[in-house]
Chain A
Amino acid sequence: MGDDFQYQYAESWFKQMDKLIHYVNEDGRVNALYSTPSIYTKAKNAANQTWPLKTDDYFPYADRANAYWTGYFTSRPALKRYVRMISGYYLATRQLEFFVGKQSTKYNTIGLGDALGIAQHHDAVSGTAKQHTTNDYAKRLAIGVSEAEAVVSSSLACLTSNLSSDQCSAPASAFAQCQLLNISYCPPTEDSIPDAKSLVVVVYNPLGWKRTDIVKIPVNDANLVVKDSLGNNLEVQYVDVDDVTTNLRKLYVKAYLGVSPKQAPKYWLLFQASVPPLGWSTYFISKATGKGTRTEDISQLSSQKGETIIIGPGNLKMSFSSTSGQLKRMYNSRTGVDIPIQQSYLWYGSSEGDSDPQASGAYIFRPNGSPPTIVSRSVPTKIIRGPLVDEVHQNFSSWIYQVTRLYKDKEHAEIEFTIGPIPTDDGVGKEVITRMTANMATNKEYYTDSNGRDFLKRVRDHRDDWPLQVTQPVAGNYYPLNLGIYTKDKKSEFSVLVDRATGGASIIDGEVELMLHRRILHDDGRGVGEPLDEQVCVDNNKICEGLTVRGNYYISIDKLGTGARWRRTTGQEIYSPFLLTFTHENLNSWKSSHVTKGTIMDPNYSLPPNVALITLEELDGGIVLLRLAHLYEPSEYAEYSTLTKVELKKLFAKKTIKELKEVSLSANQEKSEIKRMTWKVEGDNGQGPQGLRGGPVNNPNLVVELGPMEIRTFLLKF
């Protein structure tokens, strides 16, 4: 009895319901009562009926033949990325906040928690809100981040300080952070380093495993020395900042900050950082003593010889056609997996409605019936090689730019796409996809994740629950991706991971496509009442252009049965990148007053590779919320899909756990107090396998067991 924003004058409803209950019960044919879903549930449970069993999920949703709500899997990709990036950041900031104690009320992560909470609304991160509302979500997130940045800065300062934690309540050094690093905007690294000082980079690793990753920062000087905490000079690589990034930086920094940035930096400086689990490492960047540019570290443009260009400094290689620039093949020299594969960008023309007036819009994906248009068959390509990374820069069009990166110690390809402004001067809305076509017999099957957690098998043009009438062969096969999508044949797996919520599908065997951006000129009639035509404006909205979106997706080829390990581990790394903080200080005085590398864990301990620390947060009153998640499903990866153990004493090596209580997922009741109703399931003989779960946590040893896919939540007191 209600609907959107009803009961603004509740009496208007209750007066009528009072009457209905009164007269209907006087009539007596049916019984009318005020109730609640909980009362209803109890009544259903008491009925002692048997109920049909539902497995998998209810995606995708269509409310009519040509109305698949699969557009919103991608709508507003920039907001979706902003939410995901901040989600990872929020996880890390709460860890840091806990490490030093939630001591001052001056800065905290509550604002960010609220903003992120609101952003999960089904018309927020979904991309189905009006533009001004979307702006409001983004603003809340930005405000939350700016406060959380202060938490990170003071926490890290305190954590890395030699002083005890009660002495570092007013840290001397403030760390800068760079939220716009993806468009090469980072004033502390761009500025020239004062003499006698270093650019101090403290890298925090929010994962429970030791980790080695590339750090990449914009600089103006190609004559720098990077030292680790032990004083070793590190191998570095400089890569020219490309024009596309420079142009993006110019517009988007102004749009974001309201002021134009200084001149764009010349180089990306890359070096490899190695950081302990839940710990930090410090790197010192200073001007080289010698004069002149150290040209040997500057990436070389590779000249194109022969038919094929092969790149990749590590085990994974990719080969491209030197004439068309098209990807031809990926192979892994370690595993021997070798798959012919093509990749290109295409767009679906958005339907504006025809005999069925349904248009494509913020919610609904309805291609206009034409096959997707290939953006470009021949792509100007630039190859950059270096000791740490090989890059393939490709101009698919004036509005699609792609950089493929293969890192020395990684066995996947990182694809950075820059898409936009999507042209609409032809009057056609466009929904842009990247399409990867592998030579694999995938038998209509593909796998997509459920909220970044489980992988569900999808079968093209098929639903388990009913005989599907295929009206939309493309839109009806799209599924929401948060972690990624993979397919497999008898030998190999082909996996793609995403950096944000993205629509994805496999429309023909061996093919995987991601919808990366959409710009639509019509509303789809589901309530938002605005065409999804995102613009970015500066100068008081005097200068506007269609939104450009930049992001990454990641490709891996693996032997059949081994892809899960890459997907789960890399998924964690994508979600929780290194948190970089910057300051300028004299190297020696820094070292004398700071711990340059450390962890809160036992230095010899690491979380098992199948466990993630998904929440570590200090609540008020010194109570700490801890959530541990097993990352694998049963049978997903033989070695890791097992009962696993976390030793809390080693996880919190520097503190003593005084009290521990296991609670429900949202920490609002004790685990033991959860009363689950029992229901009879049709065809269930009671013989089905019970999921494997960890046993109770014993007080003296404090070891937490986790079965596959189990998440356990604890409240701790130290």
Chain B
Amino acid sequence: MLDAAMVFAVLVAAIWVGESEYIEYNTTQRIVPDKINVHMVPHSHDDVGWLKTVDQYFVGANNSIRGACVQNVLDSVISSLLEDKNRKFIYVEMAFFQRWWRQQSKAMKIKVKELVNAGQLEFINGGMCMHDEATPHYIDLIDQTTLGHQFIKDEFGKVPRVGWQIDPFGHSAVQAYLLGAELGFDSLFFARIDYQDRAKRLKEKTLEVIWQGSKSLGSSSQIFTGIFPRHYDPPDGFTFEINDVSPPIQDDMLLFDYNVQERVNDFVYAALAQANVTKTNHIMWTMGTDFRYQYANSWFRQMDKFIHYVNQDGRVNALYSAPSIYTDAKYAANEYWPLKVDDFFPYADHPNAYWTGYFTSRPGLKGYVRVMSAYYQAARQLEYFKGRNETGPNTDALADALAIAQHHDAVSGTERQHVASDYALRLSLGYEEAERSVASALASLVNQRLSLHGVNLATDFQQCPLLNISYCPPSETTLVDGKSLVIVVYNPLAWKREDVIRIPVSSFTGNLFILFLVGVWYALYKMYSITSKSTVAALFHLPVDRVSTAHVFVRDLAGNKIESQLLPLSNATLTMRRHYVRAYKGKAPGSDVLKYWLAFPVSVLPLGFSTYKVTSCDQSCHSSTISKMYRPEGSTDKSIKVGQGNLMLLYSADEGKLTHYVNSRTLVTASVAQSYSYYSGNDGTDKDPQRAQKSHIVSPSSTKKCPICSKIATKPKKEPKNDWAFFRSGRCSTLLPK
């Protein structure tokens, strides 16, 4: 009898007799001086929110919208890098990397640190997100970048060298010099420039330039800038995600469709085509695009083969590289580069596709981001004054939320609605925590001060983030029974400042309510403030005499009376308040008992605060002046003059339109008109479907503008303190403070 083991071994061998040999791919290639060097830069462009929220992208949820899971990217990239030390990868968005890093074991963290130290994994750009360049404030850009760079420094001891703004829709001068050169970056890379500009640069080999974005800082603000020949994806036919359609290299002779020579030829032709539009013998292939490398081996396997076979072929030199290596090679080439000044706005990728709509898209979110930005600035000051509380409440969550909100599909307004809601949710959560931090910081400051005046305060404060729609429960409360409303105003600017603040007050008169001792605190948002980043006010109740809010007066802490004015709340504001308070808080704001804005001037020292008391009084006291209505209808004047200071605006009495601007101090007199119009969005049903109005793109259906307000109801209120011109028609209202 046969030995069974022998028999079965033979049977197996019979089946596998056609086995092909293991091929060890040579991926060791480095730069070769005399050849075209194809720097293959593996990357994944991971939007910190767009079609899905940042966390949905990270964990791979909501995949019916898009199969994208950043966890898979990082998990699989790391294991691919560990398999071959010649492989490289760059990572850009620290919001994602942080999420991933938190979840790793100690052993994995050690391995990843080794990859970083070996240059296999390189952080570039390195902010929390790849921020937008058109719609964020530069302070937000600095903050979000600092947050990411601090993380990289703390965890890895590394400093990113390269700016990688590959996707934003146009590029700003500030990006080039401030978020580029001033960060210590050696280079900046991106993809999107105007199609006409690109065509010219391709022709003239000027896609790579030295960009001097600052008019002020001269050559010290220059940065080497590379614009990709087409986009941030690989040349056609070289994308290798699991379901991509590029033909993989099939180098197993025993299988059908062996294609090594054909694919090597494709590679060489694509490289030569790019070399033809690129200075020096170094070209970069961005090997990746949105949310790629979800199974990294699918890419690296092909790149290994390309590097192996292309270098065997020898016509060009293919290597794993990174933008930093590429930059060094460009630098070493000792070339002259054209100088670029100013910026890359606006961006069009097509004759009818100007990406200028997103400058305005989602103005509600844009406003919210800006308000939060200013609040964050002030809150950090106060947090510092009191001493930061590591375990919270602190400003960290707001910092994260704001950083993510700078993403080029966040504040830009180009994300899906549910994602925009997610950004707003994160901001509001961050705000809530910061609000508590501010409340406690300011309470401690105020109490130090008030104790000098022998006053003792409750330390619980309220702030009013919805002041712009006249929602501020603590100020709306009827002041009775000897209680005062105390307002603390914080000035985050470093110079002394005088300004007018407004708070909504109740219309009840003479009613006697018992008020509890409640500390309240609100933030005041001044929509007309241009120079100030923010004004923060705090208010709370003190026991005072019985009052009615129609008869209130304002005193400073020393007891000096401050002139104040009551302005009626417009229906437009009250309508907004009803709807938006409910949308924001989940409950109705209560009955509309408000009738007035109480306005009064405040004076606050740099980085300081002032305290004011609002007290009700009986009919006889010298209370706040109630604004009087001026009705132009009965007037014989042809024009209405508004303004009691140097500046005066003139409105036509019959049409209610602004006609003139007069400054009696500077002697400037100008005729001026102002009105509202709208462009009809193009639905793309004409010959060019690109013209459909999308969130990125402005493309009016025609150049004709449609006026909204033809006949304007004008209600100027003439009073000693403030002139307010209020205009209203069916769809728009304007409040011009002066």
Contact = CB atoms under 8 A, between A and B. Distances in A.
Interface string A49-90: 000000000000000000000000000000000000000000
B399 to A, nearest CB: 29
B300 to A, nearest CB: 13
A453 interface: no
A623 B2 contact: yes
Contacts of A670: 4
A619 B2 CA distance: 14
Given A660-B1, A670-B4, A11 B14 contact: no
Interface in A644-694: 659-661, 663, 667-670, 673
How many of chain A's residues touch chain B, expressed as a range?
20 to 34
A466 interface: no
A12 interface: yes
B18 interface: yes
B2 A661 contact: yes
Contacts of A668: 8, 11
A616 to B, nearest CB: 15
Nearest to A11: B75
Contacts of A266: none
A623 B12 CA distance: 12
B242 A8 contact: yes
A9 B72 contact: yes
Nearest to A140: B256
Contacts of A12: 60, 69, 72, 294
A9 B242 contact: yes
B576 interface: no
A136 B256 CA distance: 9
A621 B60 CA distance: 53
A97 to B, nearest CB: 12
The residue in A9, A620, A717 that gathers the most chain B C-beta atoms within 10 A of its C-beta is A9
A667 B15 CA distance: 12
A110 to B, nearest CB: 6
Contacts of B2: 623, 659, 661, 715, 717
Residue among B7, B18, B72 facing the most chain A CB atoms (10 A cut-off)? B7
Contacts of B75: 11, 15
Interface in B1-25: 1-2, 4, 6-8, 10-11, 13-14, 17-18
Nearest to A619: B14
Contact of A623 (B10, B76, B294): B10
Contacts of A136: 256
B295 interface: yes
A111 B18 CA distance: 9
A621 B2 CA distance: 12
B71 interface: yes
Most buried by A among B13, B14, B295: B14
A8 B242 CA distance: 7
A9 B11 contact: no
B331 to A, nearest CB: 38
B295 to A, nearest CB: 4
A622 to B, nearest CB: 9
B4 A661 contact: yes
Contact of A619 (B10, B71, B294, B295): B10
Contacts of A111: 18
A3 to B, nearest CB: 14
Nearest to B60: A12
Interface in B58-75: 60, 69, 71-72, 75
A623 to B, nearest CB: 6
A8 B1 contact: no
B76 A11 contact: yes
A98 to B, nearest CB: 13
A623 B7 contact: yes
Number of chain B interface residues as a range:
20 to 34
Given A11-B76, A12-B60, A717-B2, A620 B18 contact: no
A661 B13 CA distance: 19
Contacts of B1: 659-661
**Which one of A12, A668, A673 has the highest number of Cβ atoms from chain B below 10 Å of its Cβ?**
A12
B295 A8 contact: yes
A15 B13 CA distance: 36
A110 B7 contact: no
Contacts, number: 59
Interface string A98-119: 0000000000001100100000
A111 B14 CA distance: 12
Nearest to A12: B72
A667 B76 contact: no
Nearest to B294: A9
Contacts of A667: 8, 11
Interface in A1-59: 8-9, 11-12, 15
Nearest to B18: A110
Contacts of B11: 619-620, 623, 625, 667-668
Interface string A230-252: 00000000000000000000000
Interface string A596-621: 00000000000000000000000111
A51 to B, nearest CB: 32
Contacts of A625: 11
A634 B704 CA distance: 92
A623 B1 CA distance: 12
A667 B14 CA distance: 13
A620 B256 contact: no
Nearest to A108: B17
Contacts of B17: 110, 620
A148 to B, nearest CB: 15
A123 B295 CA distance: 28
Contact of A621 (B4, B10, B18, B295): B10
A661 B10 CA distance: 14
Contact of A715 (B7, B13, B60, B298): B7
B16 to A, nearest CB: 10
A621 B17 CA distance: 12
B255 to A, nearest CB: 11
Contacts of B60: 12
Nearest to B295: A9
Nearest to A5: B242
Contact of A620 (B13, B242, B295): B13
Contacts of A619: 10-11, 14
A117 to B, nearest CB: 10
A12 B60 CA distance: 9
Contacts of A717: 2
Contacts of B242: 8-9
A19 to B, nearest CB: 11
A328 B75 CA distance: 75
A661 B4 CA distance: 8
A580 B1 CA distance: 38
Interface in B28-78: 60, 69, 71-72, 75-76
A136 B255 CA distance: 12
B696 to A, nearest CB: 31
A15 B295 CA distance: 14
A623 B295 CA distance: 44
A659 B7 CA distance: 11
B4 to A, nearest CB: 5
Nearest to B296: A9
Contact of B76 (A9, A621, A660, A715): A9
A295 to B, nearest CB: 52
Interface string B220-233: 00000000000000
Interface in B286-344: 294-295, 298
Given A136-B256, A620-B13, A667-B8, 5 more contacts: A620-B17, A623-B11, A661-B7, A668-B8, A670-B4
The 9 nearest A-B residue pairs measured at CB: A9-B295, A621-B10, A620-B14, A659-B2, A619-B14, A8-B242, A620-B10, A661-B2, A715-B7
Interface of A: 8-9, 11-12, 15, 110-111, 114, 136, 139, 619-621, 623, 625, 659-661, 663, 667-670, 673, 715, 717
12 contacts: A8-B295, A9-B72, A110-B17, A114-B18, A136-B256, A139-B256, A620-B10, A621-B13, A623-B7, A660-B1, A669-B4, A673-B4
